[in-house]
Structure formats: C-alpha cells, structure tokens
Amino acid sequence: MDMRSRVNAALKDAMKAKEADRLATLRLINAAIKDKDIALRGTDQEEEGVSDADVLAIMGRMVKQRQESARAYEEGGRLELAEKELEEIKIIEEFLPKQLDEDEAAAAVDAAIAEVGAENIRDMGKVMAVLKGKYTGQMDFAKTGPMVKARLG
C-alpha cells in the first residue's frame, strides 16, 4: 500500500473512531500532499503524481516544523501548545520509516562515499544525492551533511 493510501485509510479510521486531534493532523498531511500534486501540474512529473519519496519528504518537513514550533512554545511558556505539536509529531511519525541511529547513519555515509568513489569535498553533492535517494525519511540530512563533510574534508 502506498503512502497516500495509508494516510487515507488512517483518516477514515480516525473519522469512524471520532478522534478529532488525529483526524485534524491526518487532514493536514493530506492537504500537504494535495499541495504537492498542484505544484506538479504542468510539469513532466504530473502523470506520475506525488511519489512515496515525496510524501516521506513532506512528512519529514512537517515533523521538523512541529519540533521547531514546540521548542518555541516551550521557550514562551505555552506548554499546552507545545504538547499539541508533540502529539502531532507522534501521529506523523507513525507513517515514517524508522530513523537511523548515529552508527547506522555513519555506516550509510561510508557506504555512499564508497559507492560514488568520493575523494574530496567537491564530491559531497554526489554523496548526498545517493543518501537522499536511499534514506529519505530515515535520516536527518541537516546532521548528515556535516558528517559527510568531516569524512571528505
């Protein structure tokens, strides 16, 4: 089952169970996917639609946005809003693949460097492209970039 179908099935289940908070978060995910569909109109990718990798990237961005919001709310003393953001993160993460831990991420970086034959910092883009192709939704590329840079530098 593709990601869009999984989200839609969860949405229907949430409606039947009358889980308002879960339903609202799932609707936000659906809206983000539809936004991407609209953005693809008129491009070469229009017929294919939004791929699972695109959906994973969308959800990854949604998690990051909510983490930043929760942190801002906590700093501002708005704990109830921070808690709501954290609940939304849990719902979104149900659809994301398991995140790689530090050792697994390091091994993936080493494998990608070997795969492209990277020798210096100029090859960093090639390494990151391989990692994004294989591990979208499974690793935080903001942390991975410096790791690649340290290995190639």
Q: Is the pTM of this model over 0.85?
A: no
| Domain boundaries, position 82 | 3-93
Q: Is the pLDDT of residue 126 over 70?
A: yes
Kindly state whether residues 114 and 75 are assigned to the same domain: no
Q: Is the pLDDT of residue 9 over 70?
A: yes
| pLDDT for 46 | 65
The tens digit of pLDDT for each residue in 17-75 reads 999 999 999 999 999 999 998 888 877 766 677 888 888 889 989 999 999 999 999 99
Kindly state whether residues 58 and 88 are assigned to the same domain: yes
| pLDDT for 19 | 94
How many domains would you assign to the chain? 2
DSSP codes joined into one string, the chain: --HHHHHHHHHHHHHHTT-HHHHHHHHHHHHHHHHHHHHHTTSTTTTT-S-HHHHHHHHHHHHHHHHHHHHHHHHTT-HHHHHHHHHHHHHHHTSSPPPP-HHHHHHHHHHHHHHHT--SGGGHHHHHHHHHHHHTTTS-HHHHHHHHHHHH-
Kindly state whether residues 139 and 74 are assigned to the same domain: no
Kindly state whether residues 76 and 107 are assigned to the same domain: no
Kindly state whether residues 13 and 41 are assigned to the same domain: yes
